[in-house]
Amino acid sequence: MAPTPATAVPTVYGLDIETDTTVDGLDPLVARVVAVAVAGPTGVTIFDDGNEALLLDRLDWHVASVEPGVVATWNGANFDLPFLHHRARGHGIELGLRLRPDPTLPLPREPLPGHAHTNRAWWHGHAHLDAYRLYRGDVVPALGVSGGLKSIAQLCGLEPVLADTAHLHELTRDEVRAYVSSDARCTRELVLRRWPTARYAVDRGGEGEPVAVPRVPEAVG
């Protein structure tokens, strides 16, 4: 029997970012994005231009150009997506990314500056699914395991690339590319393996509005 539209698996893109760890890599007001990976059905596309504005612009064009589907992240509702949003707005770049704060969703950790709540998101023609929130809701409490991507990926039989992210700046470019692409691939695979239930965690309700954020200091752009 053919799958119904509700259960058919859409095109899923795993997305992961890495930031500058020579400063506080968790603060978009001081740290730039150094690499982004988008894992799709035909492979992984990596953006790691030394010029951050160019990196963000190329990333947005890529997301706009691929078949509409679901962008999957791991804690992207609280980190990856608002981080990208901050950095792009600081460069005067208008991404197709839209964020909508949702106070009904759990806030797993201190939010980024300018974000008091967990976000729902949409990017061009793509919906968003935060796989961390999905697994945190059932697998983590049921098994008493860490909610980190690496822990869940290994639990599910995947072999993620491991690295000390606090010292990402000490890795070679090829090592960073391998690391960020591994996270994007693992995120995508973890969503695909659970699509019958994961589909209920997709952000719905229409596009939100960009969140106003402080301009990125010129010295770190």
pLDDT digits (tens, 9 = 90+) for 168-214: 999 999 999 999 999 999 999 999 999 999 999 999 755 444 333 33
Asked if 117 contacts 158 with a C-beta cutoff of 8 angstroms, the reply is: no
- Asked if residue 188 belongs to a domain, the reply is yes
- Asked if residue 4 belongs to a domain, the reply is no
Percent of the chain scoring above 90 in pLDDT = 69
Mean pLDDT of the chain: 87
| Residue 111, pLDDT score | 73
- Asked if residue 36 belongs to a domain, the reply is yes
Tell whether the model's pLDDT for residue 8 goes beyond 70: yes
50-59, 80-89, 207-216: range with lowest mean pLDDT: 207-216
The CATH number for 47's domain is: 3.30.420.10
- Rounded Cα–Cα distance for residues 132 and 205 (Å): 20
> 126 vs 44, 71, 89, 97, 159, CA distance in Å?
17, 6, 20, 9, 27
Tell whether the model's pLDDT for residue 12 goes beyond 70: yes
Determine the length of the chain: 221
The C-alpha torsion from 127 through 77 and 153 to 182, rounded to 10°, is 80
- Asked if residue 219 belongs to a domain, the reply is no
Tell whether the model's pLDDT for residue 70 goes beyond 80: yes
- Asked if residue 211 belongs to a domain, the reply is no
Number of domains in the chain: 1
- The parent domain of residue 149 ranges over 12-203
- Asked if residue 1 belongs to a domain, the reply is no
Residue 141's pLDDT band, with cuts at 50, 70 and 90, is: confident
Residue 137's pLDDT band, with cuts at 50, 70 and 90, is: confident
- Rounded Cα–Cα distance for residues 48 and 143 (Å): 36
Task: Judge residue 169's burial from the number of C-beta atoms within 10 Å of its C-beta, 0-12 exposed, 13-18 middle, 19 or more buried.
Answer: middle
